Structure 1
Amino acid sequence: MTKWGSKARIAIAAVAMLATASCGGSGSAPKARTEFNIGWSIYAGWMPWPYAEQAGIVKKWADKYGVKIHFTQVNDYVESVNQFNAGKLDGVTVTNMDALTIPAAGGKDTSAIILGDYSNGNDGIVLKNAKSLADIKGRTVYLVELSVSHYLLARGLSTVGLQLSDVKTVNTSDADIVGAFANPAATAVVTWNPQLTEVAKLPGATKVFDSSQVPAEILDLLAIDTATLKANPNLGKALAGIWYETIQLMQKKDAAGAAARAAMAKLAGATPQAFDAQLTTTHLYGTPQDAVAAVKSPAIGATMVKVRDFSFSKGLFGQGAKSADAIGISVPGKTIGDANNVKLRFDPTYMELAAAGKL
C-alpha cells in the first residue's frame, strides 16, 4: 500500500446496536446541540473536508449557523463507519454500499446529505497474462471480500456472461493486496486506488475492467445521523456550505486551485501529481445542481436496487433479514423495500439550498 493510505471500504454484516453516546444517535430522542463531530478517512473524494477545516472554511460556515464542527480522521475506514454506527460520530464519509450494510443494516437511521462523487475508474480488476475479463474464469481472485471490490467483481462478471461461482475469491486486506498480487502464482485481483495503480504496473498485468464501466454505482457520500440532523438542521446547512465552497475552490484552474489541491494531497500523504491523478478517476459532482440532479434521477434507485440485492445475497443484512426488501431505502419520490423500516435516506434538502443560493 502506498504511503497515502486507502479508502478501505469494507462492508461487514452489521449487528443492531443502539447509539447511546453523546452524539444523539438513533437510540435517544433528538436534541438540539451546537457541537458536532464528523469522521473521515483518506480518499481523494473526501479530502476536501479536512482541507476545509485547515483553510478556515469550516469555521466560516459553522460560525454563520452558530455551531462548531470537528472533523476527525479515522485511519481505518471501516472503523470510522463502525464509530458512526455506535453513535460516537454524528456523521461520516462513506460509500453507498457501506452506508446500507453497516449503519442502516444495524438499525441506525442514516441520511446521505452530500453526494460528493462516484468512482470513475478508481476501482478495477487486473489480470496477468490475459486479454480480457473473460479470461478470469476459473482463476483465484484476491480482493477484500464483501466490499465494493466484491460488488465490482460481480458486476464485471455479469458483463461477460460469468458468475461469482466461476471464480474463487481469497480475502486479502487492502494493506497486503499489492504484495499478494506480486506473487507469480497470483493472476487476478480486484482493488481500488492507489493500490490499483500499483498492481497494474506489475509484469504481465492488464486492467481488464474498472468502475468507469459501471458509472455512478460506487457512490461516495457524507452521511449524518437522521435524528441528529432533524433536531439540528443548521448542521446540514453549514456542511453544504462548507462542501460547495471547497469544491468550487479546488476545481479552479489557477494558482489558488492548485494550492488547495496540493494542500489536500499533503493531508493525504500524497504528492500533488499523485493526488491529481486520483481525481482523474473520481467523478466529482462539481456543483450542487449536478448533485441534486443525480440524487433525483431514477438511476440512483436502480443503483441501490443492485447494491442491496448483492448485499442481501452475501448475508450483509444480518440473519434476521428474510428478503432484500428488509431495509427501506428512501430516494426522492419513492421508497425501495420496507417503507416501515426506512434506515437509509438520500436527502437532497441541503444540496437544494446550496443550488438555490439560499444557504
Structure 2
Amino acid sequence: MMRLIGTACKILACAGAIMLASCSKAPDPQTEARTEFNIGWSIYAGWMPWPYAQQAGIVKKWADKYGIKINVVQVNDYVESINQYTAGKFDGVTVTNMDALTIPAAGGKDTSAIIVGDYSNGNDGILLKGANALADIKGRQVYLVELSVSHYLLARGLEKAGLKPTDVKTINTSDADIVSAFGSPDARAAVAWNPQLSVMKGQTGVTEVFNSSQIPGEILDLMVVDTATLKANPNLGKALAGIWYETVALMQRQDSKGKEARAAMAKLAGTTPESFDSQLSTTYLYTDPKAAVAATSDPALLKTMMQVRDFSFKKGLFQGASSADAVGMAFPGAKTLGDPGHVMLRFDESFMKMAAEGKL
C-alpha cells in the first residue's frame, strides 16, 4: 500500500494554499470541454481495478460510450502522482481522503471526490514487540512514515487508549525501510500498511495491537477529479463511475472470470494472487454504488473529515493557516466544513448515484 505523505512537498503545497486563498486565481486552461483525459494511479489493492480495467478494455468501452479518451497512467511514487495531479498533469488521481485534503485541496486546487472506492479495514496497523496491549506503547519510540495515514492511525489509537501524542516518540521511517528498521532489536513499536505490515507481523514476538478496522471508514481511498474539469466535462465522471463499478463487480465474482481478473490485478501489483486476495480481505470495497452513496451522504463522513483536518492542522499541514477551517470542504446535502468561501475539497456523490440508479 503506497499511501504516504511527502513532508517537504506537502509544506510547499500548503504554503501555496495560503497564498492562493488570498490572491485571485489565473484562468484555468483545463475548464473547457475536452475529449482526452489523463488519470494517475499508484499500486494499492483497492486501486488495482483501474489498471486492470484499462488492460481488459473496460476503460475504452466506457470512454467510447461518452465519446472521450481516458489514459490511465501509473506513477510508481504515490506522492508524486498527487503532486502531478496538483500541478495539472493529471485530470484525476487515486488518493486517500487525508492526502486529498492536505495536498491538492490545501494547495489551492479545487478537487472533487467522485468515487469512494474503499476504506482500510485492517490494511494499516500498530505493532509492538513483547507486548499485547496498545497501552504498552507508552514511552516507546514508534517507527512510521510521519505525517501519513500511519501517523493518523497512531493518533487515533492513542486517543482510544487514553494516551497522549507526547506519550510516545515517533521515528520518521520511509515505507521502503520500515521492514528492515523494525527488524532491529532496538525497534519495539511501529505503524505500517500492507504489504509491509503483513511481513512485519510475521517477526517473532510481534503483536498487532490496533488496526484500521477499529476506526472503520476513516482511512478512505478515493478517485478524485479536478472540479473545473469535471464541471466542463461531466461525461468524464460518468465514464469513470461506469468503469469502476463494472470492474469491481467482475473482481468480486467467484467463477473463473473473477479469479482471472484478480490474478491479473495481482500481477499488475507485482504480487501473487494469494497475497493480493489477503490484502483485499482487509480492504472494504464499496462494490455496490448504493452503499458508496450512503457512505458519502452519511453524517459520519463529516465527522471523519473533521478529525482528519484537525489532525492535519495540529501537525502543521495547513502551514500558515490560523485555523483548521482554512480549507473548506463540501458534502452532500449542501453541508460544509470549514471556510464556505474557500471550498477546495468536495465529496460529490452524483456519479455514484447515477450508477446506483442505472443511469450511466
* d(CA) in 2 for partners of 1:26, 1:200: 50
Amino acid at match of 1:8: R
> Does structure 2 retain, via aligned residues, the 8 Å contact 1:142–1:181?
yes
Amino acid at match of 1:355: A
The aligned residue for residue 75 of structure 1 is: 76
Please, what TM-score do these two structures have when normalized by structure 2? 0.95
Q: CA deviation at 1:8?
A: 3.2
* d(CA) in 1 for partners of 2:72, 2:332: 28
* d(CA) in 2 for partners of 1:251, 1:220: 18
> Does structure 2 retain, via aligned residues, the 8 Å contact 1:126–1:206?
yes
Number of residue-to-residue matches in the alignment: 348
> Does structure 2 retain, via aligned residues, the 8 Å contact 1:26–1:225?
no
* d(CA) in 1 for partners of 2:4, 2:53: 23
Amino acid at match of 1:93: T
Please give the residue correspondences for 1:291-330 in structure 2 after superposition, counting only pairs within 5 Å: 291-319=292-320, 321-330=321-330
Q: Go from structure 1 to structure 2 and tell me whether the alpha carbon gap of 1:107 and 1:56 turns closer, same or farther (over 3 Å shift).
A: same
Amino acid at match of 1:138: G
* Equivalent in 2, 10, 27 of residue 7 of structure 1: 2
> Does structure 2 retain, via aligned residues, the 8 Å contact 1:126–1:208?
yes
Q: CA deviation at 1:203?
A: 1.3
* d(CA) in 2 for partners of 1:70, 1:26: 25
- Once the two structures are superposed, residues 242-263 of structure 1 have per-residue CA deviations (whole angstroms, 9 ceiling, x without a partner) of 0000011000111110100000
Q: Go from structure 1 to structure 2 and tell me whether the alpha carbon gap of 1:236 and 1:29 turns closer, same or farther (over 3 Å shift).
A: closer
* d(CA) in 2 for partners of 1:344, 1:315: 18
List alignment gaps of at least 5 residues for structure 2: 21-25
Q: Go from structure 1 to structure 2 and tell me whether the alpha carbon gap of 1:160 and 1:26 turns closer, same or farther (over 3 Å shift).
A: farther
The aligned residue for residue 42 of structure 1 is: 43
> Does structure 2 retain, via aligned residues, the 8 Å contact 1:8–1:174?
no
List alignment gaps of at least 5 residues for structure 1: 1-5, 20-24
Query: How well do the aligned residues superpose, as a CA RMSD in angstroms?
Result: 1.4
2:132 pairs with 1:131? yes
Q: CA deviation at 1:57?
A: 0.3
* d(CA) in 2 for partners of 1:139, 1:238: 48
- Percent identity, aligned pairs only, is 69
Q: Go from structure 1 to structure 2 and tell me whether the alpha carbon gap of 1:26 and 1:148 turns closer, same or farther (over 3 Å shift).
A: farther
Q: Go from structure 1 to structure 2 and tell me whether the alpha carbon gap of 1:26 and 1:197 turns closer, same or farther (over 3 Å shift).
A: farther
> Does structure 1 retain, via aligned residues, the 8 Å contact 2:126–2:208?
yes
Please give the residue correspondences for 1:165-184 in structure 2 after superposition, counting only pairs within 5 Å: 165-184=166-185
Amino acid at match of 2:249: Q
The aligned residue for residue 226 of structure 1 is: 227
The aligned residue for residue 3 of structure 1 is: none
Please give the residue correspondences for 1:160-309 in structure 2 after superposition, counting only pairs within 5 Å: 160-309=161-310
The aligned residue for residue 23 of structure 2 is: none
Q: CA deviation at 1:156?
A: 0.1
* d(CA) in 2 for partners of 1:314, 1:274: 34
> Does structure 2 retain, via aligned residues, the 8 Å contact 1:90–1:228?
yes
The aligned residue for residue 101 of structure 1 is: 102
Q: CA deviation at 1:26?
A: 7.5
* d(CA) in 1 for partners of 2:73, 2:30: 24
* d(CA) in 1 for partners of 2:141, 2:193: 18
Q: CA deviation at 1:280?
A: 0.3
Please, what TM-score do these two structures have when normalized by structure 1? 0.95
* d(CA) in 1 for partners of 2:197, 2:219: 16
- Once the two structures are superposed, residues 212-258 of structure 1 have per-residue CA deviations (whole angstroms, 9 ceiling, x without a partner) of 00000000000000000000000000000000000110001111101
Q: Go from structure 1 to structure 2 and tell me whether the alpha carbon gap of 1:74 and 1:121 turns closer, same or farther (over 3 Å shift).
A: same
Q: CA deviation at 1:29?
A: 6.1
The aligned residue for residue 112 of structure 1 is: 113
Q: Go from structure 1 to structure 2 and tell me whether the alpha carbon gap of 1:88 and 1:209 turns closer, same or farther (over 3 Å shift).
A: same
* d(CA) in 2 for partners of 1:337, 1:243: 30
> Does structure 1 retain, via aligned residues, the 8 Å contact 2:114–2:350?
yes
SS at match of 1:16: helix
Q: Go from structure 1 to structure 2 and tell me whether the alpha carbon gap of 1:191 and 1:29 turns closer, same or farther (over 3 Å shift).
A: closer
* d(CA) in 2 for partners of 1:125, 1:27: 42
The aligned residue for residue 22 of structure 1 is: none
2:351 pairs with 1:350? yes
Q: Go from structure 1 to structure 2 and tell me whether the alpha carbon gap of 1:99 and 1:26 turns closer, same or farther (over 3 Å shift).
A: farther
Q: Say which structure is richer in helix.
A: 2
Q: CA deviation at 1:7?
A: 1.2
The aligned residue for residue 153 of structure 1 is: 154
Amino acid at match of 1:177: I
Q: CA deviation at 1:27?
A: 3.6
> Does structure 1 retain, via aligned residues, the 8 Å contact 2:140–2:168?
yes
The aligned residue for residue 86 of structure 2 is: 85
Amino acid at match of 2:38: N
